[in-house]
Chains A and B, each alone.
Chain A
Amino acid sequence: MDQPQLRTLEATCIQEESPQCSAACPIHIDVRAFMGCLAKEDWRGARRVLDRTMPFADIVGRICDEPCRIACKRAEIGDPLAVGSLERFCVSTVPMVLKQPKLPAKGGSVAVIGSGLSAMTAALDLARKGRNVVMMTGDEEVGGSLRGYAEEILPARVLSGAVETLDSYGVNIQFGCSLNKEFFDIVRQDSDAVFFDRDCAGLAALSIDCTHPDPLTLAVGNDGCFAGGGTTENGFSIMKQVEDGRRASLSIERYLQKVSLTAQREREGSCQTRLHTVTIGIEPLKEVLPADPAAGFTKQEAAREASRCIQCECKECVKQCAFLQEFTDYPKRVARKIYNNQAIVQGTRTANKMINSCMLCGQCTVICPHDFPMAEVCRTTRENMVAKSTMPPSAHEFALQDMEFSLGEFSAMARHQPGLDSSRYLFYPGCQLAGSAPETVEQTYLHLTRHLDGGVGLMLGCCGIPAQWSGRQELFGQTMQTFQTEVRKLGDPLIITACSSCYAVFKEFAPELEVQSLWQILDKGELPEQKTAPPQQLLTIHDPCTVRHEPEIRASVRSILKKIGIATAEQPYSGELTDCCGYGGLMQFANVPLGEKASRAKGLRSDLDGLAYCAMCRDNLAASGRRIAHLLDYLFPAGGQEDPLLRPNPGFSGRHENRARLKQHLLTTLWQEEPTMPPEYKDIKLFIDAQVMVLMNKRHILEDDLQKVIFQAEQSGRRLIDPENGHFLASFKPVRVTYWVEYQPDKQGFVIHNAYSHRMILPGDVK
Chain B
Amino acid sequence: MNNLLPTIPVASWVESAMEWFTNQFSAFFTVIKDAGKFVMEHVTGWLISVPAIVLILLITIIAFFITGKKLGLAIFSFIGLLFIYNQGLWTQLMETTTLVLFSSVISIVIGIPIGILMSKSPVAENIIKPILDFMQTMPGFVYLIPAVAFFGIGVVPGVFASVIFALPPTVRMTNLGIRQVPKELVEAADSYGSTAGQKLWKVEIPLAKSTIMAGINQTVMLSLSMVVIASMIGSPGLGREVLTALQRTQVGNGFVAGLGLVIFAIIIDRFTQSLNKKKTV
Partners in one complex: no
List B residues at the A interface (Cβ < 8 Å).
Answer: none
List A residues at the B interface (Cβ < 8 Å).
Answer: none
